């Protein structure tokens, strides 16, 4: 036994969507459902696995990489909102030092974004030509934690609108190389045009996915390609369109159309059986700590509350290969005063944050 305090959580432990238990203990930072000997610190409430933000950028702001001090503040903000597992969907900063901090969220990294030359936000990505795509995907697959992040589409300034970034052949070869190296591939995609090629090339996930249509939703469902809609980010599309309308009116009109049908797009994907997960896109122009707002947005789009919770809890953790509240799992959990299944807005007010068996918030 270490010098850690044994923690006793009682009330309702939501170990799974249909698995509700009365209590658990955290001993040496791990979950057990068997009462340990001796005294324990008892806390009460509704316990969920530590929430997942499956599209977050620790170490990044709207201008590019940030200092370790700023990265720490970002991670703490996410933690205090209940996010205890982050899939970092692209960052130019080295945040490996966070792994040694037991008081900060666990991070699954996708390495640095890989974008077409002059086709993405400055200072964010490796900006390369298509002929170099396979090599850079291999590089980031080795540097990341089992994920690689592509920029699948962005504004083409000559065309004045969103356009796909990569030829089909290069994408197929790059995704095959990532899979050979044991990494999954995801891509930033706003528009319609890039989706079919990416999915047929074997991609594992699409970020944002605002360009899904009746033609491509069945393809996603058939191939099991997940989406992370980042609806709190899509809410910024009208503002983005206003800022670019004078120079790129076609792009601005396109962004507004994608925004206007965002809820229908997500609901259509969910209804077809496309896996949907919670992500906020925090760390670019968006603040951290928005995971509860994103869950509420999924419910507003028509996803049932229990499935929206799963998209940030049990289901998201299973998708990322991380445990929830199983026997022996790391004791990473969030406690609430009310049942979040009855009203997902409860997620915005955690009463206790527990990381590695210790109360940190």
pLDDT tens profile 10-57: 999 999 999 999 999 999 999 999 999 999 999 999 999 999 999 999
The CATH 3.20.20.140 portion of the chain extends over 51-319
pLDDT tens profile 314-347: 999 999 999 999 999 999 999 999 999 999 999 9
Average pLDDT over residues 232-249: 97
Say which CATH class 7-48+323-359 falls into.
mainly beta
**Total-model pTM:** 0.96
Architecture of domain 51-319 in this structure: Alpha-Beta Barrel (3.20)
SS (H, E, C) 248-294: CHHHHHHHHHHHHCHHHHHHHHHHHCCCECCCCCECCCECCCCHHHH
Residue 284: pLDDT band with limits 50, 70, 90? confident
How many helices (H) and strands (E) are present in the chain, helices listed first?
12, 20
Instruction: State the burial class of residue 121 (Cβ atoms within 10 Å of its Cβ: 0-12, 13-18, 19+).
Output: middle
What one-character-per-residue DSSP string does 108-159 give? EE--S-EEETTSS-TTTSEEE-GGGHHHHHHHHHHHSSSEEEEE-EEEETTT
Average pLDDT over residues 278-299: 96
The CATH 2.30.40.10 portion of the chain extends over 7-48+323-359
pLDDT tens profile 190-220: 999 999 999 999 999 999 999 999 999 999 9
Percent pLDDT > 90 in the chain is 98
Q: How far apart are the C-alpha atoms of 36 and 359, rounded to whole Å?
A: 18
């Amino acid at each position: 036994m270490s010098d850690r305090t044994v923690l006793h959580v009682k009330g309702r432990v939501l170990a799974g969507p249909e698995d509700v238990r009365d209590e658990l203990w955290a001993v040496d930072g791990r979950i057990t459902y068997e009462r340990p000997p001796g005294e324990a610190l008892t806390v009460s409430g509704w316990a969920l696995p530590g929430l997942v933000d499956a599209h977050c950028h620790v170490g990044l702001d709207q201008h590019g990489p940030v200092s370790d001090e700023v990265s720490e503040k970002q991670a703490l903000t996410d933690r205090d909102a209940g996010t205890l597992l982050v899939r970092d969907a692209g960052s130019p900063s080295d945040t490996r030092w966070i792994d040694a901090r037991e008081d900060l969220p666990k991070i699954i990294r996708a390495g640095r974004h890989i974008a077409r030359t002059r086709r993405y936000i400055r200072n964010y990505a490796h900006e390369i030509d298509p002929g170099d795509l396979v090599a850079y995907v291999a590089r980031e697959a080795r540097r990341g934690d089992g994920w690689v992040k592509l920029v699948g589409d962005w504004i083409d300034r000559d065309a004045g609108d969103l356009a796909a970034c990569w030829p089909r052949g290069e994408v197929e070869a790059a995704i095959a190389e990532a899979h050979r190296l044991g990494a999954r591939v995801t891509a930033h995609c706003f528009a319609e045009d890039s989706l079919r090629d990416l999915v047929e090339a074997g991609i594992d996930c699409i970020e944002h996915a605002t360009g899904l249509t009746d033609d491509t939703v069945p393809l996603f469902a058939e191939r099991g390609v997940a989406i992370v809609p980042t609806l709190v980010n899509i809410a910024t599309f009208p503002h983005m369109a206003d800022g670019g309308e004078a120079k790129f009116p076609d792009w601005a009109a396109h962004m507004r159309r994608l925004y206007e049908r965002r809820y229908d797009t997500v609901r259509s994907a969910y209804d077809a059986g496309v896996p949907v997960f919670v992500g906020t896109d925090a760390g670019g122009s968006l603040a951290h700590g928005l995971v509860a707002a994103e869950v509420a947005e999924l419910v507003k789009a028509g996803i049932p509350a229990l499935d929206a919770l799963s998209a940030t809890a049990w289901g998201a953790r299973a998708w990322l290969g991380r445990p929830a509240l199983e026997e022996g799992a790391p004791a990473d959990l969030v406690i609430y005063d009310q049942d979040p299944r009855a009203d997902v807005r409860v997620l915005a007010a955690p009463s206790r944050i527990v990381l590695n068996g210790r109360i940190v918030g």
